[in-house]
Copies of this chain bind each other. A is one copy, B any other.
Amino acid sequence: MKLIMAVVQDKDSVKLSDALVKADYRATKLASTGGFLKAGNTTFLIGTEDENIQDVMRIIKENCESRDQLVAPISPMGGNADSYVPYPVEVQVGGATVFVLPVEQFEQF
């Protein structure tokens, strides 16, 4: 038995939840902020047998991997027009930081 703790961006959180449920893995989500990833994020707790670890890793990677995304510029409200960029910019979104922890005992009541 292992406990997987995965910190992912909020924007990928629903997608990852759905993919885990579909593959029959149970996860608990903890509200979390800052840190490993810049935007708002969610920490998933996933308890699973050792033989499923690589499968869960694949699901996390498929749904959360860091990628570039074009973002339309937001026109400046009021001042700061000097720094306005009138074309889409590429930003990095997503990403996951994953820890696999050993479990000494597991109980369900």
Q: A48-75 toward B: CB 8 Å interface, digit per residue (1/0)?
A: 0000010001001100111000000000
A73 to B86, CA, bound (A): 55
Q: Let me know if A93 is at the binding interface, CB within 8 A.
A: no
Q: Tell me if B106 and A99 are in contact (CB < 8 A).
A: yes
> How extensive is the interface on chain A, given as a class?
35 or more
How many copies, total? 3
A90 to chain B, nearest CB (A): 19
Residue of B nearest to A27 (CB): B35
CB < 8 Å: which of B36, B47, B98, B106 contacts A26?
B36
A98 to chain B, nearest CB (A): 4
Q: Tell me if B43 and A33 are in contact (CB < 8 A).
A: no
